[in-house]
Structure 1
């Protein structure tokens, strides 16, 4: 058994803690009421964003290859944007942040590997996965692409199933056809 004096002290501390807990719980409840509309709006926006087709930026100077990709991905639920040079790619990135970039290795004004390196050096763009696309399958190009920050590599000519699989892998379940 506890001595009466110790029991009285404990009771006083418990009472004091209870008195402090009531205002704290009231504050938490008030905070919940205040932020609830903002949280609901954020949840709705998140739901709407998930319904929007993923944006894929295709950076390739060969318009025939762009048309081919457009046809191959027509039944894949994504929205394609095209840039035909490094300068156009950076202009497109200034307008909208895509969920994925398909980057040609050889562009008229720049090297796709160098552009990828620049993207990965920019904190605002570094998180965008880049898949290199090229007609060349040399090991040094593959190694340079991966060293620059590319997440994958596709050799032309494109195969529909392979492109769908690559996009599905890096769009994390979004845009599946």
Structure 2
């Protein structure tokens, strides 16, 4: 279970975002903070894996909180995703340079946050796997840093990198292959959406399609990730 601290000055917004987190499999809210000081204290005390950090806080801005988290040996390893209404480029640049993993602009939907949480979960698992190895190859490093995209080339319009990574992970976790219906069940996506990503992987050569024959009716397309 990945432990999350939600930081937002608005009590109702914090409650909504906490609900989004709790509805995402594998994630749990361990605390909520409404000021910068509370965020720093809660991060030190609770040691969450991830902080969802607002920028507009009553006592200090989120960028200052982010910098303090990075400067403190007790919290330097805690990951941060910024969630804010701030759209100015300076703030976005400061968040990126401060070490934020991502930047979500309010208001956002449950699915938008869910995609980011799942992306973080995938990254968390990759780093855990690397920590069990004595050395890492370039392919492993590229996978963690995102230098190797989940599919070759630019994703078609309407497809997102985070969801593509989710479908890719599902295929890699099921070496016997998945149909579009099975992939939709695993990823909690709709069947048409799952099929679009699966067909994209097949078209780019990342996945192989095999026909699964049943007792009656048309054979079902089964997708296998190419190792």
Which TM-score band (shorter chain)? 0.5 to 0.7
The answer on 1:57 being equivalent to 2:8 is no
Render the CA deviation track for 1:46-100: whole Å, top value 9, x for unaligned. Answer: xxxxxxx221011111112112212323321322120011111122123211010
* 1:73 corresponding residue in structure 2: 21
In 1, the alpha carbon distance for the partners of 2:68 and 2:44 equals: 14
Number of aligned residues: 124
Contact 1:129 1:170 in 2 (8 A): no
The answer on 1:114 being equivalent to 2:67 is no
The answer on 1:104 being equivalent to 2:54 is yes
Contact 1:56 1:98 in 2 (8 A): yes
In 2, the alpha carbon distance for the partners of 1:74 and 1:148 equals: 27
In 2, the alpha carbon distance for the partners of 1:76 and 1:158 equals: 15
In 1, the alpha carbon distance for the partners of 2:54 and 2:99 equals: 14
Structure ID, larger Rg: 1
Where structure 2 has 5 or more consecutive residues not aligned to the other structure, the ranges are: 126-186, 189-227
In 2, the alpha carbon distance for the partners of 1:93 and 1:67 equals: 18
SS at match of 1:158: coil
Contact 2:8 2:53 in 1 (8 A): yes
TM-superposed CA distance for 1:130, in Å, is 0.6
* 1:46 corresponding residue in structure 2: none
Contact 2:6 2:18 in 1 (8 A): no
Which of 32, 44, 59 in structure 2 is aligned with 1:94? Answer: 44
Contact 2:86 2:105 in 1 (8 A): yes
Structure 1 or 2: more helix by fraction = 1
The answer on 1:128 being equivalent to 2:78 is yes
TM-score between both structures, scaled by the size of structure 2? 0.51
TM-score between both structures, scaled by the size of structure 1? 0.64
SS at match of 1:107: coil
* 1:27 corresponding residue in structure 2: none
In 1, the alpha carbon distance for the partners of 2:46 and 2:32 equals: 12
In 2, the alpha carbon distance for the partners of 1:130 and 1:93 equals: 11
In 1, the alpha carbon distance for the partners of 2:90 and 2:38 equals: 26
Contact 1:100 1:171 in 2 (8 A): no
TM-superposed CA distance for 1:103, in Å, is 0.5
- Bigger RCO (CA 8 Å, 6+ sep): 1
TM-superposed CA distance for 1:129, in Å, is 1.2
The answer on 1:169 being equivalent to 2:124 is no
